[in-house]
Every structure is written in C-alpha cells, then in structure tokens.
Amino acid sequence: MKSAPLFLMLAGCLALLTGCASLEPPTGDASYALAAERGHGLGRIAAESLPAGAGSAFRPLPMAAFAMDARLTLVHHAQHSLDLQYYLLQDDEAGRALLRGLRDAAQRGVRVRLLVDDLYTASSAHLLMALRAHPNVEVRVFNPFPAGRGALLTRFAASLLDFARVNRRMHNKLFMADGAFAIAGGRNVANEYFRHSTEANFLDFDVLLLGEVVPQLASVFDRYWNSRHAYPLDALEPAPFDQADLPAAFERLTAAAETAFPPPDGDSSDPLGYAPLSAELARAQPMRHLSIGTVAARADDPAKVSGQTHRNDSVTAHFVAALQSARQHVLLVSPYFIPGDVGLEVLRELRGRGVRVEVVTNALASNDEPFASAAYARYREALMAMGVELYEISSRQMKTDRMLRDALGRSTGRSHAKLTVIDDTKVFVGSMNLDMRSARANTELGLLIDSPQLAAQSTGMLQMARARGSYRLRLADGRIRWTAVAEDGVEVVYDDEPEVDLLMRLKVLLIAPLIPEAML
C-alpha cells in the first residue's frame, strides 16, 4: 500500500485554498533500546540458536499466517521490551490483535514503544490513545499533521504551504522483541497483509532475524524514535474527558480480535518447511533450521521527510550499489515498479555487461495503485528492448494454482513483496518500492543479506509465483503481448492488457498523465 497519488494531488490543491497550522517542537523524552539479556527468555534462545562465530541468523516469513504468528508469539514471550515501527497500523482485526498483545505485554511489565507514521492515524487514533492509557506504553507518531486531524482530507487542508513535508512519509516496517529478535520486510499491519481481508489480500515477504543485525536495527529505531519528527500521540490528540475509561474502552474494542489469529497447527510447516514460531518457542530450546550469514541494515535519515536528502547514504543508493555489483543475474520484485531515467540507465548498464535481469510486478488489473501501473507502462517497451524480462502478477492467474489460491483465499490477489535476489547469493529485502516515492519522498528500511540459502529459497518461491501466477510480456511486431498458461496447461496470448475493463482504461487514460511520477 502506498499513499494514493490522486488524493494527495487534490488534497494539496485544497491546502492552498485553506488555512495553515504549524507544529510546536516535540516534547517526548529520549529513550533507547534495551540490549538482549543472554541469560534467559528470548535473549537466551537467540544466543543459543547462533553457532559460534556466526554473525546473524534469519529465516523467511513468506506466508501470512506464519508471519502474524511470529509477531504475536514474540509479543507473548517478550519480557523486557517491544519496539515497533510501522507506516500503517490499521484499526481492524490485524491491528487490534497486535495491539491487544502489546497491552498484555505491558501489563506484564514489558516496556512498549510504538512508532507509527501519521498518514493513516485519523481512523486509528482512538485505539492508539486507548492503548497509550496503559502503564509501560508510549505511542509516538512520525511527521504529524498539525490540525484537522479528524480526517485525512482535512489534515492536508490544514497544512497550507507545508504540502511538501506532509507528502513525505515514514514507510519503514520494523518489529523488535527484547533486543533479541526482529522482523523486517514489506508487511504493514492490516488485514490484507495477513490473509484476513474479504476483498483483496497481498502476497508479501518478511524476514525473522537474530544476531548481530538486531542491535543495528535497534539503533535505526532509536534514531527515528528520538528524532525531531516523532511526536507523542497525546501531544497531538485532544485528551478525552473519560480518560479513566480508556483501558476499559480498549478492552471492548479489541476483545473480539483476541482469537482472530489462532496459531497454526504445531505440526504444520510453510512451503519452505519451517514450523510456526509459536511451536518453535514453545520448546524453549535453540531454534532449528536457521540460515546463517551477514546482514547489513540500511535506513534513510529521518530528516528525509523535511527535504534534507543524504543521497549517498540513502537506502536507494545502497540498493543501486548492490545492483551494480551483479555479475550474472538480478531478479527484481516490487509491487510498484517505476524505474525513472536513473533506474533505466542502471538496468541498461547491467544488460550491457550481460547480466540477466528479470522484473516481477503487479499487472494493472491486480494493482491497488493503478496509476503506478500506468507510469510503469511507459517504460515497458524500453525495458524489453534492452532484454529485461518482464512478468506481471495476475490475480486471475494466481487462482489457477492451488497453493497460491490457498494463500490468498477467495479475495483479489496482489503482490506486495519488495525483494531483490542478486547472483543467487545476496538478497535485498525491506520496505522500499522501486519507484520515485521511495527514492525521493518516503523514508525506507532495507536489509542486504549475504546468504546463498536465503537467495535460493526466495528465488524458488518467486519462480513458483511467476510461473503460475503471472503474465510473461513479449515484444512481437512492435507490440506488447501478454502470455500465460491456462488451467488446462495451454498457453494463452493476449494482444491487449488482460483483465482490464473499459472504466479502468478510461481512468488511466484520462487521469494518469496528470500525476507526476514523483508522486507515485
């Protein structure tokens, strides 16, 4: 999910016609991550799970049920601290289940720090305020709107001449427990990321991490938490008259979510053969089946939201450097793929050296941001002309495969994974889309993981989704063709963009040219 460009354009125009509000400096005290305690709890399990001399250990979380189970399990086992940083934490079953777990941990004496971007908090502020009313909990919002906080439109309308700032968002996704375990990747906290939406669900990708990378990520969190762009929630939201009733209100709001995400069966495993984390930690023994390797955590400077760019040290810069190190093969996966002139030149240089380049992104019909698909379409012919292989994920195609169908339920299927595999040895994973917004506007978090095993696992899953759930694009007679394998195994060729109705075609034709790529 990304902020809707058409809405942001309209909101920006409205802001120029209305009043302006400003922010006072934040008032929150500085605090810092607690180091893992190696003698007991999660700290002991993490320490004993790492072989002597190992740097970091990790395992992928490709399945929604196992990804939520990992989060809820770490919340349940935490004894000292929980630090969470998210672009979107929705007021739905997924958000309420996680927040309820945080409340329970706080009542056990665990220190909880929750940092969320302010773009979507208009609908969840009441729930966050109710959580904040509990001891041991602190909630901060990043890059907040100063006024009109009851709705997204009025928030932008109250930000006269400050649109450049509020258009920049904290897109990071990070979860840490007891300074010992972390989860990072593409998932926000909302139903559609955990196979709980009745309308549309995402295929996504996270990584569970332990070892040397966790203190790196803790430093990233602290940098954002203590930045001048992070504000205590209760300094922005009006104090309710019934503050004493907030804990009871939180109980009422979240009670039904307590059983919304039961743990997977302890004997089950995901497609890569991993057991649920709940089953692993129930043994209170060192974890099995972890990959070992080196991990470098990269994060944009929080000041990026104020327009202060540090391009040489940005997540994008580190990602491009990793790409340029490729010698044989690059597999790029992004829900929104808008390379721009710079990205096009990087890919052209790779192809000039004979590097095979594959790109997997959403088809227009499956994309939750159709205008991003329209911008990507402007680059397709140039990419294919230089030999880049393009695949577009299709909800209809995914439904022809039993495993993918089970992963998505009956809803529309989309990809939200942000993943790159380089030379079958390195994996770049995180929050960063391959588009202008991630490069220039939003802050991002990325992990460069050196692990042939994780690269092979990632490639295997991506190849399955690509082979069974996508269209392969080809240039023939100067025109783009979409090819797919039908359920009966017969190849089908489409001369026009498949699954797109007339209304969507008109919408893209008339509106997409009006939206600058920098907004996408």
Residues annotated as part of the active site: 171, 173, 178, 416, 418, 423
**Exposed / middle / buried, residue 392 (Cβ in 10 Å: 0-12, 13-18, 19+):** buried
Q: Identify the DSSP state of 466.
A: H
What is d(CA 6, CA 370) in angstroms, rounded to the nearest whole number?
11
* Amino acid residing at 120: Y
C-alpha to C-alpha distance for 256 and 284, rounded to whole angstroms: 29
Burial zone of 179 (CB within 10 Å; 0-12 exposed, 13-18 middle, 19+ buried): buried
The two structure tokens encoding residue 245: 């009733």
- Would you give the distance in Å from CA 373 to the centre of its chain? 18
Residue listed under structure tokens 């919340």: 75
Instruction: Find, among 414, 469, 342, 487, the residue nearest to 2 by Cα.
Output: 414
DSSP assignment letter at 133: T
The radius of gyration of the chain from alpha carbons, rounded to an integer in Å, stands at 22
Between CA 177 and CA 261 the distance in angstroms is 19
Block residue for tokens 């056990």: 108
Instruction: Centre a 10 Å sphere on the Cβ of residue 269 and count the other Cβ atoms it contains.
Output: 15
3-state DSSP assignment of residue 507? helix
Residue 407 main-chain phi, psi, to 5 deg: -70, -25
- Neighbour count for residue 160 (Cβ, 10 Å): 16
346 CB contacts (<8 Å, ≥6 apart)?
320, 323, 324, 339
3-state SS class at 194:
coil
